[in-house]
């Protein structure tokens, strides 16, 4: 198992190219189950989660090959309609296959994901939505079994805006008979890009980019070439890293529009930001000011940057409040950050950070993807050397993170270790 050894205290300066969005590719890849043929997804990040999705689709008969961020998928022959526990337990996004399978083949068996490192993550909305479209759902031996001769268009309101459930039900509805109306649908850019891909495939979807989607089912879809959007979470992570080290960074191949809420908060903290069509230049030559954040659905502050922002606020002299309204238990990084000397009071879904105290290097343990990013950022400003263990979590969602950080001036090394 790998760990990172990081020497703190170096400014990050330079340019970095942002990769394709993990959550974008993971939403688009299962769409190949909706129509036979060969697909080409450009700008696919070379990440563990993409490999997991490729293996899952491969187990169903989809041939997947990732070459220089070009993902080729041949979905001509699907031989299994099952997503086994071994895949779903590694990555909850595996659940995305449920909607397309039941829509096209009338049957699907997908392992229930269970909880995750930071608490329960239910799938009730995925199941309720599919039931509304006429699927018969039962839970058998830890698996969701869904059956439907032909899904039928229906009205479905998401009680909570859910990225995954919107993607799943939207994919299913494209092949249902009749019209589906989805309200309070997620409008995260990764879902919007999935909707655009489905339209290219021949789906009829109105209201893309809004929380009300009207989907007219069609008899069949066709394969397409498409491209994954830039990863807004990776971009935000690098911007925060530059800001907290007093650096200057230029992000290439990003979408500033997707990052509006984060850029505003960075400006409030004292960063100078200049934006062009797909570049963001950030310069921080001030001491960062404490800035509170509250995570919410898009276009609000993403829960996926809560942990990184918390690390940033350790550098800001004063008190800041970080509230996560999406995943209220998502604070596994807090005890590890305290090992670096952080002063954080955790009260339910609110972290109160007393920043401005110099952190000191220590060995810390990653518990999940964004928690790992937070620990790496904190190690970049800690005095001396830190070790971040279990970096396989970071490999799920950041392409070449140590190479990118090194090119910006960070001192970070990947080391093999027997420690788990």
> Footprint of ligand UD1 on this chain (CB under 6 A)?
23, 26, 92-93, 121-126, 160, 162-165, 186, 190, 302-304, 326-327
Provide, rounded to whole angstroms, the least separation between the CB of residue 113 and ligand UD1: 9
Would you call 220 helix, strand, or coil by DSSP? coil
Q: Which of 25/386 has CB closer to ligand UD1?
A: 25
Q: Which of 87/126 has CB closer to ligand UD1?
A: 126
271 is catalytic: no
Closest C-alpha among 352, 359, 351 to residue 376: 359
Would you call 46 helix, strand, or coil by DSSP? coil
CA atoms of 340 and 324, how far apart (whole Å):
22
Encoded tokens for 91: 């990555």
Provide, rounded to whole angstroms, the least separation between the CB of residue 351 and ligand UD1: 17
Neighbouring C-alpha atoms within 13 Å toward the C-beta of 121: 21
Provide, rounded to whole angstroms, the least separation between the CB of residue 384 and ligand UD1: 32
CA atoms of 31 and 26, how far apart (whole Å):
9
Q: Is 53 exposed, middle or buried (0-12, 13-18, 19+ CB in 10 A)?
A: buried
Q: Which of 123/154 has CB closer to ligand UD1?
A: 123
Provide, rounded to whole angstroms, the least separation between the CB of residue 108 and ligand UD1: 16
Encoded tokens for 99: 């909607």
CA atoms of 140 and 111, how far apart (whole Å):
9
Q: Which of 345/348 has CB closer to ligand UD1?
A: 348
Provide, rounded to whole angstroms, the least separation between the CB of residue 170 and ligand UD1: 12
- Active-site residue, selected from the candidate residues 13, 64, 116, 271: 116
Q: Which of 17/121 has CB closer to ligand UD1?
A: 121
Contact yes or no for 71/64 (Cβ under 8 A): yes
Residues with active-site annotation: 116
């Amino acid at each position: 198992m790998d760990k990172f050894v990081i020497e703190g205290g170096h400014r990050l300066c330079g340019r970095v190219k942002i990769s394709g969005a993990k959550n974008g590719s993971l939403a688009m890849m299962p769409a190949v189950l909706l129509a036979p043929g060969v697909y080409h997804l450009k700008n696919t990040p070379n990440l563990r989660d993409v490999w997991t999705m490729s293996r899952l689709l491969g187990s169903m008969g989809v041939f997947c090959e990732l070459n220089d961020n070009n993902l080729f998928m041949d979905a001509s022959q699907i031989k299994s309609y099952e997503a086994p526990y071994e895949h779903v337990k590694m990555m909850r996004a595996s659940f995305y296959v449920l909607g397309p399978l039941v829509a096209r083949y009338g049957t699907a068996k997908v392992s229930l994901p269970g909880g995750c490192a930071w608490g329960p993550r239910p799938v009730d909305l995925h199941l309720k939505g599919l039931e509304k479209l006429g699927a018969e759902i039962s839970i058998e031996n830890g698996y969701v079994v869904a059956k439907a001769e032909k899904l039928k268009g229906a009205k479905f309101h998401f009680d909570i805006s859910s990225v995954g459930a919107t993607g799943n039900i939207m994919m299913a509805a494209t092949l249902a008979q009749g019209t589906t109306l989805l309200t309070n649908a997620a409008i995260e850019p990764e879902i919007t890009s999935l909707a655009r891909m489905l339209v290219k495939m021949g789906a009829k979807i109105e209201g893309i980019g809004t929380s009300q989607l009207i989907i007219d089912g069609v008899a069949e879809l066709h394969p397409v070439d498409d491209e994954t959007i830039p990863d807004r979470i990776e971009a935000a992570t690098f911007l925060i890293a530059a800001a907290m080290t007093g650096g200057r960074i230029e992000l290439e191949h990003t979408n500033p529009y997707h990052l509006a809420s984060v850029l505003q908060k960075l400006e409030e903290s004292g960063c100078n930001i200049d934006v062009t069509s797909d570049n963001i230049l950030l310069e921080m030559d001030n001491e960062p000011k404490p800035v509170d954040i509250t995570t919410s659905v898009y276009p609000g502050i993403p829960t996926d940057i809560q942990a990184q922002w918390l690390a940033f606020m350790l550098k800001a002299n004063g008190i800041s409040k970080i509230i996560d309204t999406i995943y209220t238990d998502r604070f596994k990084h807090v005890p590890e950050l305290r090992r670096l000397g952080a002063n954080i009071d955790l009260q339910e879904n609110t972290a109160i950070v007393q920043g401005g105290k110099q952190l000191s290097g220590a060995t810390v343990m990653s518990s999940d993807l964004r928690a790992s990013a937070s620990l790496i950022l904190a190690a970049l400003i800690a005095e001396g050397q830190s070790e971040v263990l279990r970096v396989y979590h970071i490999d799920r969602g950041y392409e070449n993170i140590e190479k990118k950080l090194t090119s910006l001036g960070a001192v970070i090394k990947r080391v093999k270790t027997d420690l788990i």
